[in-house]
Amino acid sequence: KNHVAYATYAAEEDDDVRDFLKERQVVNNISDFDLSFLKLENSKANKVYSPLSIKCGLKMIQQGSSGIAKWKIIQSIGNRDLTKYTANTNMSFANAFFIRDSYKENISKNYIEDLKTNHNAEVVFDEFKKPDNINSWVSNKTFNLISGLLDDDKVKKQDVILTNALAINMEWQKMLQA
């Protein structure tokens, strides 16, 4: 099973790390991750994945990782802070960290506080017997556009589930004609 633990990484103490991070901040632009991700994933099915959501999820994981895992995430998405978005009547952008009740002692309280502070994440303790709480959260945060995302089997096998939901509910200025 995947385990999440908070780890402090003092990059400013290492010249090589500092230089690497500065270089990634310059090199990592929209074409590095966002467009390449869209090309890779969106050609497989009639679905659209949000690079913003993927980057937000990876940033939350990065915050609780160390070593090679942290480096790989930084290589993929850079080391910039993401813009914080506020939900409104037309756009919902939300993060949540669901933790199995029996697993909560394995998660650092500092990591939980960092998710709340830096990513406006809701932290929810759950039995993980059924996906109802997670599915309800996703549905609520996506203007009821996504429902039944997870089934019983997927939830029962996990100790933690990190989620991001992005939904935009607006009329097109010009409608597409079929």
pLDDT above 70: percentage of residues in the chain: 70
Tens digits of residue pLDDT in 14-24: 444 445 445 44
- For 77-98, what is each residue's pLDDT tens digit? 877 778 777 778 888 888 999 9
Q: Are strands 121-126 and 91-100 parallel, antiparallel or unpaired?
A: parallel
105 vs 35, higher pLDDT: 105
Is there a contact between 145 and 167 (Cβ–Cβ < 8 Å)? yes
Averaged over 31-54, what is the pLDDT? Answer: 64
8 confidence band (pLDDT: 50, 70, 90): very low
